[in-house]
Amino acid sequence: MDRRQFLSVMAGGAGLLAASRAAGAIPAAKPSAPRGTTLAGVRNEWTLSHPLVKQKLRMMVMSDAHLTLDDARGEPWKEFSARMSTPYRTMKHWRNGRQLVSPAGFDEVLAKAVQAKVDFLALTGDIVSFPSEAGVDYVVGKLKASGLNWMYVSGNHDWHYEGQPGTLKEQRDIWTKKRLSPLYQGANPLFSMRQVKGVRMVFIDDSTWEILPEQLGFLRAQLASGDPVALFMHIPLHVKGYPLDRAPVGHPDWGWNADRNWQIERRLRWPKEGHTQTTYAFRDAVFAASNVVGVFTGHIHEPMCAVENGVPQLVTELTAAAGCLDVKFKSL
């Protein structure tokens, strides 16, 4: 079993995972000078210990609630919302197999976060399945009423009316402003940060599978602060040894030949030239940084834990089925 297999096995079952930055070997149980994050947990519940974290913090992450709510305001857009208005409307509860009808998964995770009095709630995209005003109104109303400290970043479906013309970036620019803006609470949709108990909660929109130069600049400024950083995005970053369909952003094979869904989703096909150098540089900067406590994403709808160079990436299980990440930060 190589190191990657060992980490995957540990991520899938209970146990303690020491994510040493030492290359090559399975890390020692008690590293003398720990750098990077040490993980303990199983499936969706994790404790992340990092030397830069000074205060205990508990947060939850929800992703892929895929609300399909719509009303008369969405009638003119039915041609573009039709396909995504049915998937995920009815889901099996991930823990006990109960049937959930949307938005019950979202409601259940939010109620869990309120009951736990979490310090922070992160919403990492595909919260709505298309940019419906009814869906956004519902989510924002519930979040405001919760009294929680929350932030949101878009997924590839939140802003997508399938079949609308233009590049992914152009469509994102239009619909994040037109429909999703209440979810940002005045923050920039592309990149934002809020400090919670000394941790910089950094939100970057990678829902076009690409990173823009201004987003890379923002990330570098956050990393240069020296503060602990938690990074939230929709689509997972590429982690060495993981396949394209699990961890695509920054994967060397991403691009035209790998795009299987462009016709189904009625969008432009991924570019022939693959990722931009900016996207590769962003990915490399995240996994080279010693102050990134963790990366938190969604998109693939299944829990995953992958570690590169001492930086863990945790993927949230489908919130439409009441999945969420329940994460505690503490000092080493």
Would you tell me which residues interact with Fe ion (CB under 5 A)? 64, 126
Q: Of 126 and 206, which CB lies nearer to Fe ion in the complex structure?
A: 126
What's the min distance (Å) between Cβ of 188 and Fe ion? Answer: 23
- Distance in Å, CB of 300 to Fe ion, minimum: 8
CB of 157 to Fe ion, least distance (A): 6
User: Which of 27, 125 has the CB closer to Fe ion?
Assistant: 125
The least CB distance from residue 314 to Fe ion, in Å, is 16
Structure tokens at 157: 């479906």
CA neighbours within 13 Å on the CB side: how many for 97? 0
CB of 171 to Fe ion, least distance (A): 16
Nearer to Fe ion, 130 or 287 (CB): 130
Look at residues 295, 285, 288 and name the one whose alpha carbon lies nearest to residue 247: 295
The whole-angstrom separation of Cα 186 and Cα 188 is 7
Reduced 3-state DSSP string for 129-194: CCCCHHHHHHHHHHHHHHCCCEEECCCCCCCCCCCCCCCHHHHHHHHHHHHHHHHHCCCCCCEEEE
The residue number with the shortest CB distance to Fe ion is 126
The minimum distance between CB 129 and Fe ion, in angstroms, equals 8
Q: Is the CB of 70 or the CB of 119 nearer to Fe ion?
A: 70
Inter-CA distances, 245 with 239, 265, 301, Å: 11, 16, 11
Closest CA to 316 of 308, 327, 307, 324: 324
Find how far residue 67's CA is from the centre of its chain. Answer: 17
CB of 239 or CB of 318, closer to Fe ion: 318
**Tokens (6 digits) for 202:** 């950094």
Query: What residues contact 38, with CB distance under 8 A and at least 6 apart?
Result: 16, 17, 18, 19, 48, 49, 50, 332
Closest to Fe ion by CB, 64 or 70: 64
d(CA 157, CA 125): 8
Nearer to Fe ion, 126 or 308 (CB): 126
Shortest spacing between CB 289 and Fe ion, in angstroms: 27
